[in-house]
Structure formats: C-alpha cells, structure tokens
C-alpha cells in the first residue's frame, strides 16, 4: 500500500474564510518520470477507495503513468471539520469550493512533486467535476481530462436531490446543529438512506441488484450494511455536510465568464472524454450531451451501458470497470 502523504499549505484562503494550516492528503504511484495522471476523490471516498482504478494493468496503469490521488477537503483526510483545531473545528469549519481544492492540488503538484504538465486528470462523480475545474483553471498544464458520471455544473435537478440527504441530517434530533458530542446515529442513518435512493438505476432496483453475487438477502439488509454502516463506520457528520455543500455549489463556469457555461466549455483546450452512465439519476447523460456539444471537436461522449446507475463509475462491478478501463486506455493512446 502506498503511504499517504500530507502537504501543509500554511494559511490558506477558501470560499468561506481561511484555514490557518490547511492540509492536503495525497498518494503517489509509479515513476515520477512517467506522464502524470491526477485522480481526486469523490463524495464518500477516502484515498484507499481510489485503488480500483490504480495499479499495473488497470485503467491508470502505474507501469506507464505517475498517478497522484488527492483527498478532497472535508473528506476526513485532508483538512476537514473533524480534524481541524479550534476555532475552525466542527460546525465552524469554513465552506470550501472546488476551485479551492484545485488550487491546493496544484500547489502539491508544482511545489512538492515538481509536476509541470498533467497528461490527464480523471475522476468519478465529484472527482469528475474536479477534472472539469482542472481543465478550465489550468489550460496551460492539462493535456486531457476524463469525466466519469460527473458534470461541469451541478444542475438544478442535482441540487434538489442533494437537499434530501443534507436536510435529513440537519433536521435529525441528534445532529445538534453540528455540536454533537457523539456520533449522530439518527442523522447519519437518515442521510445514508436518502442518499442511497438515487445512487443506482431504477432497473438495478427492479431486478433486485442488491442481491448481486448473492450477498444481501433483502433491501433493508443492504441499506443497513452498505449505506448506514459505511457512513457510521468511516465518516464524521460535519465532514459529510461540508463536503456535500462543495458538490452542491459546483459550477466551473463561475471561474470564467460569470456563469456562462456554454462559453466557458467552448474555450477548454484539453481533449475530453465524458462518460455518463445510461441510468445515472445524479448526472444523467442528457447533461453530458449538452456539455460535449459546447466543447465541440475537443470532447467525446461515451455512455456507459449499465443498469448500475451512478455507481457504474465507482468500481462497483467488474463489467463496468472493464468498459471504463478499455475506454480510458483507448483515449490515453489516442493522438
């Protein structure tokens, strides 16, 4: 296992204020002399969770590429409400934008790792949204980018979804406005169940996909053991809220042209591979189709033909993993 490293930025300004000693957690894989691929985390992911795409013979082949994985602010590894000292601890942690994360990642790459060119940024979900931000914020640096089940702007439809799990947590009787002294069991369980509802395609649920490989006998067992346990065991409630706010406020066009998404995307210089899933309820293919049209010949749309919905892009099953791997390998080899 590659060891997690920590870069201390010192005093670092973010969207909601300042962090006196901001920290970015990251890992590196492969030879630094090889082309660099940047692979940031998504919502609900730690650095360990990036391994499904990283390694010899995988989509991000560490025999060919120098892969750098980054932990988002508020994921519990980089600076987060749960690991920051007073006075910015817990509910006092400032809001953080995607642009803040990219500035932090850029500092690690250029100041610590000596990377001046990025062969590709790639990401799933929130990671895919960061790939868009990289292409817009650093056109001089990024050659290509891959977006898997993500978008350049968090749509109104997506924002409506986000309000469900978020407010289930905020309204719970044990969240206590973020001042809880013990794990808010009611809040996290409610969040997890609301969040799970859109994570998979309708066809997946209709065909009882939770019985995949015979693991879960019924839906309720699946929700308990996958969604509730996953967040209760590995996540802090304030981290979950701060991170979902980053997702909620995502809009790469605010970096350029004050919200004109079509114009912003039309100026992207990097080659793009945009891969939505056919049954994704978070980031539907129609959104990706519009984004690719704005980018013209620089971008290619490839829809993942899966019943797994949003989860198709997150390393959930071997068939989708192989489809994504082949698409990424082909894209990386293209001129």
* Domain ranges for the chain: 5-155+251-333, 158-245
8 three-state secondary structure = strand
d(CA 23, CA 9): 6
Q: How many CB atoms lie within 10 A of CB 202?
A: 12
> The pTM is what?
0.96
Name the catalytic one among 280, 287, 320, 321: 280
Asked, as a colleague might, if the bond just before 87 is cis with ω within 30 of 0, I would say: yes
> CB-based contacts of 228: which residues, under 8 Å, 6+ apart?
188, 189, 192, 193
Which segments in the chain show pLDDT lower than 70?
A: 1
- Give the pLDDT confidence score for residue 257 in this predicted structure: 84
d(CA 53, CA 74): 22
Write out the H or E segment, with its range, that includes residue 24.
strand 17-29
> CB-based contacts of 130: which residues, under 8 Å, 6+ apart?
40, 72, 98, 101, 102, 105, 121, 123
d(CA 46, CA 41): 7
d(CA 166, CA 154): 15
Architecture of domain 5-155+251-333: 3-Layer(aba) Sandwich (3.40)
- Give the pLDDT confidence score for residue 201 in this predicted structure: 87
Name the catalytic one among 79, 80, 125, 196: 125
- Give the pLDDT confidence score for residue 35 in this predicted structure: 98
Q: Is 280 a catalytic residue?
A: yes
CATH number at 158-245: 1.10.1740
Name the catalytic one among 97, 251, 310, 321: 310
d(CA 108, CA 58): 25
> CB-based contacts of 322: which residues, under 8 Å, 6+ apart?
none
- Give the pLDDT confidence score for residue 1 in this predicted structure: 63
Q: Is 310 a catalytic residue?
A: yes
- Give the pLDDT confidence score for residue 27 in this predicted structure: 98
- Give the pLDDT confidence score for residue 277 in this predicted structure: 98
> CB-based contacts of 34: which residues, under 8 Å, 6+ apart?
64, 65, 66
């Amino acid at each position: 296992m590659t060891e997690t490293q920590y870069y201390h930025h010192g005093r670092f300004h973010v969207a909601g204020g300042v962090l006196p000693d901001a920290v970015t957690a990251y890992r590196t894989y492969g030879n630094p002399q090889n082309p660099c691929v940047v692979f940031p985390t998504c919502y609900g992911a730690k650095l360990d969770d990036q391994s499904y795409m990283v390694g010899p013979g995988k989509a991000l082949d560490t025999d060919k590429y120098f892969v750098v994985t980054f932990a988002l602010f508020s994921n519990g590894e980089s600076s987060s409400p749960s690991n920051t000292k007073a006075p910015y601890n817990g509910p006092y942690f400032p809001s953080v934008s995607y642009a803040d994360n990219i500035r932090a990642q850029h500092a690690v790459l250029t100041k610590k790792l000596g990377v001046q060119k990025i062969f590709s940024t790639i990401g799933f979900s929130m990671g895919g949204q960061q790939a868009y931000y990289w292409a817009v914020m650093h056109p001089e640096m990024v050659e290509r980018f891959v977006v898997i089940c993500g978008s350049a702007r968090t749509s109104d439809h997506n924002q409506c979804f986000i309000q469900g799990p978020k407010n289930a947590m905020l309204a719970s009787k044990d969240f206590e406005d973020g001042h809880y002294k013990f794990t808010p069991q009611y809040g996290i369980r409610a969040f997890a169940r609301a969040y799970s509802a859109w994570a998979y395609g309708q066809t997946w649920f209709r065909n009882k996909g939770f019985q995949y490989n015979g693991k879960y006998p019924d839906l309720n067992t699946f929700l308990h053991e996958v969604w509730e346990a996953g967040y209760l065991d590995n996540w802090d409630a304030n981290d979950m809220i701060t991170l979902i706010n980053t997702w909620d406020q995502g809009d790469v066009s605010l970096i350029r042209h004050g919200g004109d998404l079509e114009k912003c995307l039309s100026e992207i210089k990097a080659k793009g591979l945009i891969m939505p899933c056919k049954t994704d309820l978070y980031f539907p293919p129609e959104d990706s189709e519009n984004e690719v049209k704005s980018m013209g010949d620089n971008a290619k749309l490839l829809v993942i033909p899966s019943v797994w919905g949003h989860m198709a892009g997150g390393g959930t099953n071997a068939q989708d993993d192989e489809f994504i791997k082949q698409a990424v390998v082909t894209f990386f080899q293209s001129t």
